[in-house]
Structure formats: structure tokens, C-alpha cells
Amino acid sequence: MQNYLDEYSNYLAVEKGLSKNTLESYRRDLNKFTAYLSKLDVNDPALVGKTEINGFLMVLKNNNSASSTISRTIASLRSFFTFLVQEGYLDNNPALDLESPKIEKKLPRVLTTDEIDRLLGQPKLAEHKGLRDKAMLELLYASGIRVSELIDLNLSDFDPLVGYLRCRGKGQKERIVPIGSVAINYVNEYMSGARSRLCKSNGETALFVNQHGNRMTRQGFWKILKKYALKSNINGEITPHTIRHSFATHLLENGADLRSVQEMLGHSDITTTQVYTQITRRKIREIYDKAHPRA
């Protein structure tokens, strides 16, 4: 079985060009499956049928695995056995007709405007790093860009006179995002003094740099955000995407149209953006229930 897994992994890496993280996910699922099969003394994929697969899925379910985990495992098994059929090792795919469990879509976490104010008010502006952190947080909330887009920003991507930001999203697709005066002022203030104090090289093109003068990393920003989230005394985990979700929801709550928010977020499909309308509808219902005398 191990030889088949190695050949399949090579196929995914070379011919499909999947990322390292995706490869590891497939391999992890299949390793668990083969470990289960070894307990049944099944070492040949030709001996695997729906009975063995369903037994494995039942073990996952009994171990309280999430529906998303089971669904991903089914996809991994289906892909693996499809490969074996294509290569002529099997005649039929025993995982072809497996039904994936329904995954409950959870609404994203959104901060209130008060919580956003508390979070963005944490950095100490008298310090160079504090001013940088303030500029990053304000820019993130003002634009709704992803953390990867934030750390990829170059000096040339920020245009304070026009009030727009150029960022590169998924697939290096460029988009222009408007930003407000508050974020512009803090980024300008950071660039006029703090950045040059943090930067070690005049040739550095990154807009935001770390204490070593190099481009800020994703992990570095996560640590910064986590520190300020703890100081804010806001319940629950806060991630860079929480700020992105809050940006979109607050825009819609204040009258922005869905298409404009879609364009600012860089969503290729408007159905991805529509999740935020559910959040605003839920909030409207809560307000109604609290305020109406006959609710």
C-alpha cells in the first residue's frame, strides 16, 4: 500500500502541482486510512471495498471528527482511488459514490465598532513599532484586505493623494481599494519617521517592515494582532480575517451596496460576499426584537 501512496503523492506534486499544505492533508488522511486497513490485515487496494471505507468513516464519526474533516477525508479517498483506476491498478473506484456529510456553514466572527475602536487604540504612538502597528491595523480595517495582501504592499502601492491602495490578491490579481483619511494619516505619519528608523536598507521596497528592517511576515503580524487583542479584553479569538469580516459587515450595515463590497474584498463570486448580508439581517432582527414593543 505504501508504494501506491508514494506514487500518488508524486503524481499530485508533479502533475497536479498541489501546494505543500494540500499534499500533507491528502497524505495525512490516507495514512490514517491505511493504518485502519492494516488492523484488518488489508494491504492491497484491490481488496478495499465500500465496507472497509464505511467502517473507517464510522470510526472517524465515533471519534467525534468534524463534518468538514470527514468530508475532506472522503475527497482524499475518492481522489486516491480515482488515480489507481486511471493507472490501471484497479477496475473500479470503491469511494466514487460516497456521500459527504452536510457541513454547517458558520457565520464569520465580526467585531462591533466599539471593539474595533478598542483594538485600534492599543498601539503606543510614541514608539516607532507602535506607530507602525497602528498604521497596519488602521489600514487593514480601512481597506478590508487580507493579511497576505497587507504584508505584500510596497511603497509604490500606497497613494495618499488619491486615497487608494493597490494590492495583489489571490492569483496575483491586482485591484484598487479606497482608503479613508484616518488610515492615510497614520500611514503617512509612519512613513515620515518610524519606517526609516526601523528600516536598515534604503533599497527595501516593503511598506511595512519588522524590527530587523525586513518585510513584515504573516507570522509577525499575527503576533502583533494577538498582543493587542489580549490588551483589548475582547472575548474570543481575533484574527486578521476577523477585521476583514468586520470591514465588510460595517460597510453593509451603513448602506454600502453588495457589488461594491465584493469588488473591494476581491471576491470573484458575489455569493462569497453574500454571507455578510446574513450577518446584517441577523443584527437587524436583534435590534427589532429589543426595540419593538410587540416583538
- Which range of 62-71, 85-94, 268-277 scores highest in mean pLDDT? It is 85-94
Pairwise CA distance, residues 98 & 78, whole Å: 8
Task: Tell me if residue 244 is catalytic.
Answer: yes
Task: Give the Cα separation of 193 and 234 in Å (integer).
Answer: 31
Q: Are 110 and 92 in contact (CB under 8 A)?
A: no
Q: State how far the Cα of 146 lies from the Cα of 237, in Å rounded to an integer.
A: 17
Confidence of residue 108 (pLDDT cuts 50, 70, 90): confident
pLDDT, residue 295, reads 54
Q: What is the pLDDT of residue 128?
A: 95
Catalytic residue among 28, 170, 259, 282: 170
Phi, psi torsion values for 261, nearest 5 degrees: -65, -40
Active site residue 250: no
Res. 288: pLDDT tops 60:
no
Hey, what's the cell of 181? 483619511
Select the highest-mean-pLDDT range: 7-16, 42-51, 145-154: 145-154
Instruction: Please determine, for residue 36, whether its predicted confidence score (pLDDT) is greater than 90.
Output: yes
Q: How many residues does the chain have?
A: 295
Catalytic residue among 173, 226, 227, 241: 241
Domains annotated for the chain, with CATH where assigned, are: 2-86 (1.10.150.130), 113-290 (1.10.443.10)
Strand order from edge to edge, sheet including 158-159: 158-159, 164-168, 174-178
Active site residue 292: no
* Known active-site residue 118: no
Quickly list DSSP for 140-197: HHHH---HHHHHT-BGGGEETTTTEEEEE-GGG-EEEEE--HHHHHHHHHIIIIIHHH
pLDDT of 274 strictly over 70: yes
> What is the reported pLDDT for 253?
86
Q: Annotated catalytic residue: which of 132, 244, 245, 250? A: 244
Residue-level pLDDT at 225: 96
* Contact by Cβ (8 Å): 129, 211: yes
Q: Which of 78, 132, 134, 146 is catalytic?
A: 146
CA triple 238-241-245, angle to 5 deg: 100
**Is 6 strand, coil or helix?**
helix
Distance CA 274, CA 277 (A): 5
Q: Which amino acid is at 175?
A: R
Residue ranges in 233-291 assigned as alpha helix (H): 240-253, 258-265, 270-273, 275-291
Assign 113 a pLDDT band (cuts: 50, 70, 90). very high
CA distance 239 to 50: 40
pLDDT surpassing 70 at residue 283:
no
- How many CB atoms sit inside 10 A of residue 273's CB? 19
Q: Among this protein's residues, is 276 annotated catalytic?
A: yes
